[in-house]
Amino acid sequence: MTIPDYLGELGSITAGLKEIGGESVDITSLGALSLPSGSIVTCDALAPQEALPFELDVEPGEYPLFLGVSDLGVAFAVLKFNELPATRWRLATVPGDDPDELDDGEIIGFAVETGSACFVDLKALPHLESGADDQISVFKKAHGAIFDLGGGHRAGVFKSGVGDGIYASYWGFAKNDKPCCLLIDFALFGVEEFDDDNEELLAARGPSDPLIDNVLMRILRSDDLGDDDDDGDPVAVESATRFLKLLFDSGGLSFENDADLVALATRFAPVLLTCEQMRPDDGAEAVSEWLLEQDEVDDLFVTDDQLAIVLAQW
C-alpha cells in the first residue's frame, strides 16, 4: 500500500489556488456538511447499495467540504474537521478491510459507476438516491454541491475525477494524533495526456478496467486514426466506452453477439460530445435514438429520464 505523495503537500485545507503535485489546483468550498451521527460513508452518489461506514468516527457536527479541481477534473474531495494541518495519513477502511494484505500501489476503496461520488452521514445514507434528480442541473454548471435529501438529511456530492473507477479515502491526522480531515483521492495527479505513440499511458491513468484498457490499447495501436480526427481521439473514445459499459453493466443496454465495441465507441464518441452540450433531456433523447439505430446494439432498457441523469454529470 502506498499513500499518495501529494497528501504531504496539502497542509491545512483552505480555499484558493495552490500548487499541489506539480499542478495548479483550485480548492473550492461547497459549504458545511451535516454529520449527525459522525459515522461517515463514501460511495457512488447514484448507486450507494451495500456502502458501509468507516471504522473511525468523528464527533457529530457540521464540517466544511472542499474540492480540489485540476485541469483534468476533481482531483480530491476533503472534509475538514478542524484547522490543524495533517502531519500523517492513513488509508480509511470499513469493517472487513485489511490494509496489511495490500502490495505497493494497491488500494482499498469504493466503486464509482455513475461518474459521481459523495460524502454522506450513515443516517442520511438511506435517503441518498432521493437527490438524484437534482444532480442534473448542478453538474451542468458546477463540480459538486451539498444536496438537501429531505428530512434534515444532506450529502456532499461531486464529480469523480475523470469518471468511473475504484477510489480510496484517507484520514489525515494532526500532531495531537486526532483526525483533522478525511480525503477522497481521484487518482489524477501524475496522469499524462494521451499520446498515440505511448502505450505506457494505460499503466499511468489511475483507476482502470480490463475491458476499457483493451479497447484503448487497440485504438492506440491503430494506424487508421489520425491526430486531427475527433472521432478517433482516445480520450473521447474512452469516455464513450465508459458510458456504454455503464449502461451495459447496469442492465440498461444489450449488445449483439458479434458487436465490435471499438467501432461502436469510436462512432459514439462525437455523438456523446455533442449531446453533452445539449440540455440533458434533449441529449438523452438523441443518445437513445442513436444507439437504437446501431447494428451492434440489441436493445436499450433505460428511460430518457434515467439517461438524462447520467448524461448531465458525465
Q: Do residues 63 and 167 share a domain?
A: yes
pLDDT of residue 235: 76
Q: Residue 191 — very low, low, confident or very high, per pLDDT cuts 50/70/90?
A: low
Q: Do residues 235 and 140 share a domain?
A: no
Q: Do residues 247 and 109 share a domain?
A: no
Q: Do residues 20 and 119 share a domain?
A: yes
In a domain, 191, yes or no: no
Average pLDDT (142-151) is: 87
Average pLDDT (43-63) is: 91
Give the residue from 185, 211, 242 where a domain finishes. 185
In a domain, 58, yes or no: yes
pTM: 0.64
pLDDT of residue 231: 44
Q: Do residues 180 and 39 share a domain?
A: yes
Give the mean pLDDT of the chain.
Answer: 81
Give the residue from 132, 151, 185 where a domain finishes. 185
Q: Do residues 168 and 271 share a domain?
A: no
- Report how many domains make up the chain: 2
Q: Do residues 235 and 296 share a domain?
A: yes
Q: Residue 282 — very low, low, confident or very high, per pLDDT cuts 50/70/90?
A: confident
∠ Cα 130 134 136 (to 5°): 125
Q: Do residues 66 and 156 share a domain?
A: yes
Q: Do residues 129 and 229 share a domain?
A: no
**Greater pLDDT, 313 or 16:** 16
Q: Do residues 158 and 22 share a domain?
A: yes
Strand residue runs (E) in the chain? 16-20, 23-35, 40-44, 61-70, 73-80, 88-91, 110-112, 116-121, 144-150, 153-159, 165-173, 179-185, 253-255, 297-300
Is the predicted pLDDT of residue 197 greater than 80, yes or no?
A: no
Q: Do residues 179 and 207 share a domain?
A: no
Other beta carbons within 10 Å of 23? 17
Q: Do residues 175 and 53 share a domain?
A: yes
Q: Which domain holds residue 279?
A: 199-312
In a domain, 190, yes or no: no
Give the residue from 153, 185, 217 where a domain finishes. 185
* Highest-scoring range by mean pLDDT, 6-20, 23-37, 92-106: 23-37
For residues 121 and 140, what is the distance between their CA atoms, to the nearest angstrom?
Answer: 25
